[in-house]
Amino acid sequence: MAYVDRGFNSGGGRAAPANSEFPRVGIQNDCTLRPMRHPQHSVLFYEGDKAERLYELDEGVVMLFKLLPDGRRQVVEILNAGSVFGLSAGEVYDCTAESLTPVKVSTLDRNSLEASPSLQQYVTRCLLTQMETLHDHAVLLGRKSAMERVSTFLMRMVPNRGGFACAGPAEDGTDDSRSVTLHMTRQEIADYLGLTIETVSRVISEMKRRGLICIERQDQIRIVNVCRMCQMTGIH
């Protein structure tokens, strides 16, 4: 029958496209503008703007979001260094892009994409990674509880854990804790996870109460036991 449990799922590991196996050829070429820096909370483009340039994120974190007319917001992607964004199937951007940290971005005329097969290949790989992340996020938004959403969100911040290729806890008996920096307010997290700010806050408080996390700063959280956190994502 159709729905065999294969015993995996793509759960966590959405490492950024930029890694050793895939060197940052990036989008440098004749049409590349000098990389630009923008402070935190800059809007790089708005949903509906004419989509003339595409962006590569060199440093920092960017979020893409969409708004409904009544003000409801959904953060649809959170992008790390190495990601390409601002490409659109239509004439205009389908999302607004805002920096969550100070960022450095390169931009490129979208026409020059056709000119360079190697660039296109790079872009395609970025898109595929983003697509898998979007698939996972659809599962989160459609099927996970608040606790599972926040756990999944926190695990997303821990590289090389929680996915197929989960490295597992270090074998040498050292503690399996890990400090992560969110770079997001509770409201931004809520809009990413499809929750309200109060629910996010309550879940984080509950995790603290249970000793799963320590709040080191508003946007910096220590996951006391990564493995235990991972158990709560709904993936295991």
Partner DNA sequence: CGACGGCTTGAGGCGCTTCAAGTGCGGTGG
Partner DNA sequence: CCACCGCACTTGAAGCGCCTCAAGCCGTCG
Residues in touch with DNA (CB under 7 A):
145-147, 185-187, 194-202, 204-205, 215, 218-219
Q: Extract the tokens encoding 233.
A: 């994502």
Nearest-angstrom CA–CA distance, 75 and 167: 29
Interacting stretch for its own copies, rule CB under 8 A, among 25-33, 116-124, 171-179, 181-189?
Answer: 116-124
- 17 in contact with its own copies (CB under 8 A): yes
Report whether 136 contacts 10 (CB < 8 A).
yes
Question: Considering only residues 19, 40, 121, 220, which one is a binding residue for its own copies as defined by CB under 8 A?
Answer: 121
Beta strands in 68-212 (DSSP E): 73-79, 84-85, 96-99, 103-109, 178-181
Question: Considering only residues 31, 141, 167, 197, which one is a binding residue for its own copies as defined by CB under 8 A?
Answer: 141
Q: Which is nearer to DNA, 41 or 50 (CB)?
A: 41
Residues 156-175 that bind its own copies (CB under 8 A): 164
Question: Considering only residues 61, 78, 113, 203, which one is a binding residue for its own copies as defined by CB under 8 A?
Answer: 113
Q: Which is nearer to DNA, 105 or 195 (CB)?
A: 195
Residues 6+ away with beta carbon under 8 Å from 46: 93, 96
Q: Which of 207, 235, 202, 236 is nearest to 221 (CA)?
A: 207
Of its own copies, DNA, none, which one sits near residue 196, judging by CB under 5 to 8 A according to partner kind?
A: DNA
Secondary structure class of 88 (helix, strand, coil): coil
Phi-psi region for residue 167, left (φ > 0), alpha (ψ -120 to 50) or beta?
alpha
Interacting stretch for its own copies, rule CB under 8 A, among 23-31, 38-46, 169-177, 223-231?
Answer: 38-46
